[in-house]
Structure 1
């Protein structure tokens, strides 16, 4: 394979963006395993005092998750959600955020986010790591990103993802967030915000397995849990689409009937995580490595779909709202693809 090397003369700003992206990408891929390994080493080699502290920490995790599902109220410490480090990560691609309509802060929202891609980079940057652009476009609305509940039961990992504004995707956690009062005078809203917006990467690990450059394949047709949650909590559903998300990584070919796909499906069923083999670029070359490619990602935030609140969602009504979400995503893709992705004429949206 011919290696395409990066030029020697690269502006310092781009070098810094590459360095930050390398560190963060390696962190994202290894953090769950690394957190467990660090805890194991501490427990094995630590003295009685260190082990006692760790046991106290384990009890705290259990109690805190039992009490409030490990939710970090408000936006947390802004230094963890908007700083120069994360701005370099945003600018590496770059990641952009586009508002199509205003979202009034008098209700809570579920952002049905597509596609997942390998890491869900667009959504996680705009609503997790660097929320400055979000707060500029959608004032008084707290952005959150929902991820696997097991992350919040893992020592060290839980604290890091909480700092990034992530919350558990469990039903209990979502209900707690999405039923918060929208009254500006409520004690929960003393931070000046009166609304919560929780992004759910609906396609999850299944959709990640279908992520290949230029292919927009959504796992949605049989995913209706987020619609039921919206109806139960009275939250509006906002479809969002991240153009370019699938282009920053390729992955080893895994057709539906391949041995690799069957292995990935088994692991996903057992753990909730699909073991992907991503292929990107290197720090000093553009041909192979673990870094994502520099490809523009544009997250377009669509119009809210209001729902009628009901503790027992009617199946026909769920199907109706779910169908509207699919229609809106299809319309958004056709409306914006020519503006935000190359080869738009041959790009099609597949919803399965």
Structure 2
């Protein structure tokens, strides 16, 4: 069923949040710009946030460690294996084990981090925004807990990581992300889970929902890395989304009776570039291992994210009945609602965000 045209468009610039944000009520934190049914003018939401050189260097340094760490461990481990002494090999193995398995801070640290100065700098670095229409923000708050869908994955779903802090800070919804279990034990990269992340398995997600938490899932997963627009769209006029047949969220939502909030992350695939073979070998290995194997790079050819605008659009809540054993027809119906809502969000907001020449295609 086609949705009626929106009456209002809203934009919340997270990077413009004042320092006294956390002394304000949740309602006062909704620092939104609003326009009528005509929407925001084309490219009017494309300005980059102001950021000092020191702040920019902080973000670059942190991500060089977090994103470069796994690469260093992989290639360093290979070098040690081939040319290292036995003492060097044992020392490297101990280091890798400590980095992968040491205890992580708990929920209290998560809450502190999402309100930290570093998070504010991250919002500036990516000029992070929320956009939505009508009362979607209010209905999301009223219908919590819910499951959020947030493609595309890209090399790393930065928009979804930023949304953990932004949704908690600005919308007042208790929100966590969901990541592959391998992330929790990948040296350096695992520190990104400190924002509040649960394993992306049915048990963990259902537990979080029972606790009253909203959970954000990247529905395209590994496929979202290997089916990016830059590799498959030669003309450059398509935004490819690998969720045509990925119905796991619809199935999970039906089994638990949990509402769904559809979302889409503009700019996420531009943060890093990546390379993988055209034969599908690395993709097959990644799917089998439930871990991603490919080469990637950003600023200066390093594992540092590019400073591009990242915006999350979200739509109206999709109500889902509780069905313990849903049929394929019921799953397909909910999945098609997610697909339609994702396409609608993209089309409604793409012009104002500078993506007006793109068409969304599901693969």
**After TM superposition, is the score higher than 0.5?**
yes
TM-score, normalising length: structure 1: 0.72
Equivalent of residue 243 in structure 2, options 201, 220, 223:
220
What is aligned with 2:304?
291
Indicate the SS of the match to 1:114.
coil
Deviation at 1:143, TM superposition (A): 1.3
Deviates more, 1:146-155 or 1:329-338: 146-155
Equivalent in 147, 154, 158 of residue 179 of structure 2:
147
- 1:78 pairs with 89, 111, 127, which one? 111
The 1:278/1:77 distance shift into structure 2, 3 A limit, reads closer
- Asked if 1 retains the 8 angstrom alpha-carbon contact of 2:182 and 2:291, the reply is no
> Separation in 2 of the partners of 1:71 and 1:145?
16
Structure 2: how far apart are the matches of 1:42 and 1:108?
49
The aligned counterpart of 2:127 is: 94
Consecutive unaligned residues in structure 2, runs of 5 or more: 1-49, 81-86, 231-235
* Partner residue in 2 for 1:208: 225
Q: Deviations over 1:225-252 (max 9, x none)?
A: 1111111111111110111222222333
Match of 2:3? none
The structure 1 residue matched to 2:255, chosen from 197, 209, 232, is 232
Greater alpha carbon shift after TM alignment, 102-111 vs 306-315: 102-111
The number of equivalent residue pairs is 292
* 2:336 pairs with one of 310, 316, 323: 323
Quote the residue 1:348 is aligned against.
359
The 2-side partners of 1:135 and 1:261 are apart by 42
Q: Distance in 2 between matches of 1:105 and 1:208?
A: 33
What residue is the counterpart of 1:116 in the other structure?
A: 153
Deviations 1:186-205 (A, max 9, x none): xxxxxxxxx31111011112
**SS state of the match for residue 108, structure 1?**
coil
Alignment partners' CA distance in 2, 1:327 and 1:32: 37
289, 296, 313: which is aligned to 1:278?
A: 296
The Cα of 1:299 is off from its aligned counterpart by: 0.4
Asked if 1 retains the 8 angstrom alpha-carbon contact of 2:66 and 2:189, the reply is: no
Gap change, CA 1:174 and 1:31, over 3 Å in 2: farther
Secondary structure of 2:56's partner?
A: helix
CA displacement at 1:29 relative to structure 2: 2.2
So what's the TM-score if we normalise by structure 2? 0.70
RMSD of aligned alpha carbons? 3.4
Gaps of 5+ in 1: 1-11, 62-69, 181-194, 283-287
